[in-house]
Structure 1
Amino acid sequence: MKKVLIITYYWPPAGGPGVQRWLKFVKYLRDFGIEPLVYIPENPHYPIEDATLASEVVENLTVYSQPLFEPYGIAKVFSSKKTKRISSGIIQTKNQSVFEKAMLWVRGNFFIPDARKYWVKPSVKYLSDIIAKEKLKTIITTGPPHSVHLIGRELKKLHGLQWLADFRDPWTSIGYHKELRLSKNSQKEHKALEHAVLNEADKIVVTSKTTKEEFESITKQPISVITNGYDLEHSGEVDLDKGFTISHIGSLLSGRNPENLWKVLSQIARENAVFRGDLQLEFMGVVSQDVMDTMYRYELGPYIKMRGYGSHAEALRKQQSSQLLLLVEIDSEETKGIIPGKLFEYMAAKRPILAVGPQGWEAGEIIQGTNAGKVFDYSALEPLKNTILAWYEAYKKGSIVSESVDVERFSRRALTEELSKLL
C-alpha cells in the first residue's frame, strides 16, 4: 500500500469546516490502496473545538506532531474574545477597537503568510527524519493556514518528493485578505510566496472552478477541482421542527448580511399574523454584530434563536430537522468562487436551501444544478418574497420537501476516489 504524508494544521479536536476535508479523505484513502500518515501541531491554538470529531479518526492511523509557537497565544492574554475571532478569520469591519486594528496590522505585515509561520522550520527538520524512516515519496499540504505549504515547499527541495498542494480557500484573493492592512511590501511578499507555491508544487487541488481559473493565470502546473462533500452515513432522518425554521449553520461573518432577506421576512411578518407565530430564525455558530444589528433594525428580534456553537453531530441533526437551510455569501467579485463546506451537508440533509450570494456564485450554480433549493442575489425582493411564501404554504400543508438530484457525486468517498487517482 502506498504511503502518503498529509501535513495539516487542523485536526481533531479542532472544530469548524477546516478540519472536515482531510479528516474525511483520511477516512477513505485506505479503500483506494493508500495508507495516510498525518502530521499536525502538538499545541495548536484552535479558535473552535469539537471533541466529538476524535471518534471519526480512523483506527491505527500514524499521527506525528511537533510543538509550535503561535503569537495568538500571547495576544489572547490581552483579549481572548477578539483574538479568537481574528484567528478564525472573523474580521469585524465596523467599529473596530484600537486593539483589533493593531492586531490586524501586525497579523498582516509581521506574520507572512500567517501567524503559524514559526512551525515551518522545526517541521522541516523533524519531518526530514520521518520521510527517511517511512520511505515516503509523496506529501500533501493543505491550507489555510498557507504557511503549511511552505513546509511542503522546503521538503520538496530537500528530498525531491512529489508534492500535492491543496487549497481549501484562495490565498491573496480571499475576502478578508484586503482587511489585513497590508503594506505594499507585505502585499508583494504574499504574492511572491503564492507564486512560488503554485509553481513549485507538482500538483494543485482546489475546491472551486473559480479558484482554478484564478490560479491558472499564475501557474502552468496541473490543477484539479475536488470540492468538499458530505458523508453518506449522515443521511438519516429526524423529526422536522414544528415551527417554520430557517436555520443557518456556521459563522455569519461580517459582510454576509443579506439585508433584502431580512427586509422580506419583516414584510411578511407584518402582513401575516399566522406567519409571525410560525417563523423561527435559528443560528448555530458565531454571528457578527453588524448582521445582528440589521436583523433587529428590521424587527426580527422576536424570531431569532441563537444556539451558539454546537458539535458536528448536533449541526447535522439541526440541518435535517430545519424546514429551510440558509446559505449566505458576501456580495463581491472575490467571493464568487467560495463554496462553503456546509453546502454539501445541506444537500445531504434533504432540506430546501435558501441561498443569497453574489451574481455568478459557483455555490449557487451547484444548488441550481442539483435542484437543491433557490438562489438569489442581494438585490432580489419580489422573487425572494414569493419563494418564501410558496415554501411557507407548503409548510402549512406539511409538504415542504427537497427535490434534489445527483448529489451522490459529492459524497466523501466518491471525492476521495478522485483524489486517489491524482496520487
Structure 2
Amino acid sequence: MQRTLKTVKYLRDAGFEPVVLTVEDGAFPSRDASLAADVPEGVEVIRTKAPDPFTLYARLTGADSVPTGAVSQGGRLSRAALWVRANLFLPDARVGWVPFAKLAGRRRVGKAFRAHMPFAAVVTSGPPHSVHLVGRRLQRMGVPWVADFRDPWTAINFYDDLPMSAPARRLDAWLERRVLRGADAVTTVSPTWARHLENRGGIRRGSVEVVHNGVDEADLGDAEGVAVREDAFVLTHVGSLYATRDPAALWEAVAALHAEGRVPSLVIRLVGKTDAAVREAAEATGVPVEVEPYVDHAEAVREQARAALLLLSIERFSADAGMITGKLYEYLASGRPTLALGPVGGDAAALLEETGGGTLLARDDADGVAAALVRHYDAWAAGTPVAGAPWEAVAPYTRRAQTRRLADVIRALPDRPVR
C-alpha cells in the first residue's frame, strides 16, 4: 500500500497524471485513515466492488481482522479455509475483484481514447498478483503495461505454507509465466528478486527493472526534534512482527546479557501488530517490554527516532535473499542504527552496508547479536549513541527519486496499437 500510495503522490512531479483503480471497501488486516492525506488533490480514484472470501472467513471465525498471507492453520475451519484458498482461489483470494476491475478499467481506457488522451501505461502492483490479470486485459486495448512485483509470486514468503495440489501449483506457475512474458515491462523491489523473476518467466537477463521502495522525505518532519530516549536504552521494532519473524537469537542474547547484569537499562519496545508467541519470548528475557499494538504512521516515525537501536527481522523462505522491507528505508532515514537478523549476503545486508545504516547478522548468531548489543549499549551509556545512515546515503532511496525511476520505465515502453 505504501509503495502505491507514494507513487501516486509523486507521479505528477515525474511527469504523469495518476488515475487510481481500486476497491470500494476491501477487507484488510489493518487501516490507517491518516494516509489518505497523501493522495494529491484532484487525483481521480475509481472504486469498484470486490467480493472477498477473507471477509467471510473473519465472520465465520469471529476474528476481529482479516489474516495476512496464508490463513491460520489453527483449527478445522481454518485448515479447510486454507485449502480452499490454496486450490480454488488462484492466483490469490482477491481474484474476485478482477472482473469488476476489468469492466471499470475498460470503460476508463475507452473514455481516454475517445477524448484523445490515452494512458501512457497501466501499472499493476502485486500482491495480490491477481491485479496483473487486469493489466493484461487493458494491455489488449492498446495501453502499455507495467507489472510491478512488491513480492515474488510463487516464492512469496508464505507460499510453502499453502496446501496446494500439484495441478494448482502448475496453474499458478503458468499464470506467473504468462504475466512475466506478457507485460511490456516488469519492475520489482530488489536485485535478487529481479533475477528470480527473470528466471521464473524465462525472460531476458536484465529485463526486470529494480524500482526500490523508499522513504518519503515529507514524513520525516514528524520526527523533527525527537531525541533518543535518555532514561533507557530502547531497542525498538516498528511494524508487524509475525511468528515467522521471531528473532530467537536476539531473545537468547538479551536473556544472557540481562542475567550477567550487562545491560541494566535495556528496554524492548514492540510497536505494531506482534504475534503473542513473539511477545512472550521477549518478555521471557527478563528485560522490560513495552508494547504498542497500533500507532498511526506519523507516530511510527517518531517511535523510530526515540530508539537507540532499531530491530529488523526477515523471515526464512525460499526467496528471502531479496527481501528488503519497506520499513528498512524508514529505519535508515531515521538516522538511528539498525540491527537486523536475516539472510547474510542478501539485498538487505547489502543496503545496510552501502548506507552505513547498521548490521545484518545470521538468524542463529546469538553471540554476534550480544556483541552488537553491548557495543551500542556502551555507546549510549557514554552519551554518544551510535549513529545510523547519513542522509546523503539515503537520498537516492526517497519515494520521489524511485517514482522518477518508474517514470523512466514508463517513458521507455513501446507504443501499442489501439484495439
User: One fold, TM greater than 0.5?
Assistant: yes
Is the 1:284–1:309 Cα contact (8 Å) retained in structure 2? yes
Question: Which amino acid letter does the alignment assign opposite residue 18 of structure 2?
Answer: P
DSSP-derived class of the 1:31 partner: coil
Aligned match of 2:98: 120
Taking structure 1 as reference, are residues 190 and 354 closer, same or farther at Cα in structure 2, changes over 3 Å only? same
135-144 vs 364-373, which deviates more? Answer: 135-144
Q: Percent identity?
A: 33
Q: How many equivalent pairs are there?
A: 396
Greater CA deviation, 148-157 or 375-384?
Answer: 375-384
2: CA distance, partners of 1:43 / 1:260: 40
Given the alignment of the two structures, is residue 145 of structure 1 paired with residue 133 of structure 2, yes or no? no
Structure 2 residue aligned with 1:417? 404
Alignment partner, residue 298 of structure 2: 313
Task: Supply the distance in 2 between the matched residues of 1:171 and 1:186 (Cα, whole angstroms).
Answer: 14
Distance 1:24 1:195 in 2: 28
Amino acid aligned to 1:281: I
Q: CA deviation at 1:366?
A: 0.4
CA distance in 2, matches of 1:120, 1:337: 28
Listed one character per residue, the Cα deviations across residues 169-203 of structure 1 (whole Å, up to 9, x for unaligned) are 00001120111111111111110110111011000
* 2:221 is equivalent to residue 215 of structure 1: no
CA deviations over 1:17-40 (Å, ceiling 9, x no partner): xx1111111111111221111111
1:90–1:320 distance in 2 versus 1, CA, 3 Å:
farther
What is the Cα-based RMSD across aligned positions, in Å? 1.7
| 1:396 counterpart residue number | 381
1:239 maps to a residue whose letter is A
Task: Show the counterpart of 2:326.
Answer: 341
TM-score, normalisation: structure 1: 0.90
Please name the residue that 2:278 is paired with: 291
Match of 2:246 among 257, 269, 272: 257
- Tell me if structure 1 keeps the 8 A contact 2:344–2:360: no
Per mean C-alpha deviation after superposition, the further-off stretch among 345-354 and 136-145 is 136-145
CA-to-aligned-CA distance 1:113-156 (integer Å, 9 cap, x gap): 11111111122122211101123332110110111111111222
Aligned to 2:226: 238
Question: How far does the alpha carbon of each residue in 1:280-333 deviate from its partner, in whole angstroms, 9 at most, with x for none?
Answer: 11111222233234334xx22552111002111111110111111100011344
In 1, distance between residues paired with 2:57 and 2:318?
Answer: 33
State which of 187, 201, 206 in structure 2 corresponds to 1:205. 187
Matches within 5 A, 1:2-401: 19-81=1-63, 84-85=66-67, 88-89=68-69, 96-135=74-113, 136-137=118-119, 138-157=121-140, 159-217=141-199, 218-220=201-203, 222-235=207-220, 236-241=224-229, 242-272=231-261, 275-276=263-264, 278-296=265-283, 299-300=284-285, 302-401=287-386
Q: CA deviation at 1:409?
A: 0.5
User: What secondary structure, in the 3-state scheme, does the structure 1 residue paired with 2:322 have?
Assistant: coil
Distance in 1, matches of 2:341 and 2:273, equals: 18
Which SS does the other structure have where 1:300 is aligned?
A: coil
Query: Contact 1:52–1:311 (CA<8 Å) still a contact in 2?
Result: yes
What SS is found at the alignment partner of 2:69? coil
Supply the distance in 1 between the matched residues of 2:364 and 2:50 (Cα, whole angstroms). Answer: 46
SS of residue paired to 2:63: helix
Which one-letter code corresponds to 1:348 in the other structure?
A: A
In structure 2, C-alpha distance between the alignment counterparts of 1:55 and 1:270, rounded to whole Å: 47
Q: Which ranges in structure 1 are unaligned for 5 or more consecutive residues? A: 1-18
Deviation at 1:220, TM superposition (A): 2.2
Q: TM-score, normalised by structure 2?
A: 0.90
1:15 corresponds in structure 2 to: none
1:80-111 Cα distance to aligned partner (Å, 9 max, x none): 428622xx226657xx2222222211111111
Give the secondary structure class of the aligned counterpart of 2:269.
strand
| Stretches (4+) displaced over 4 A | 90-93
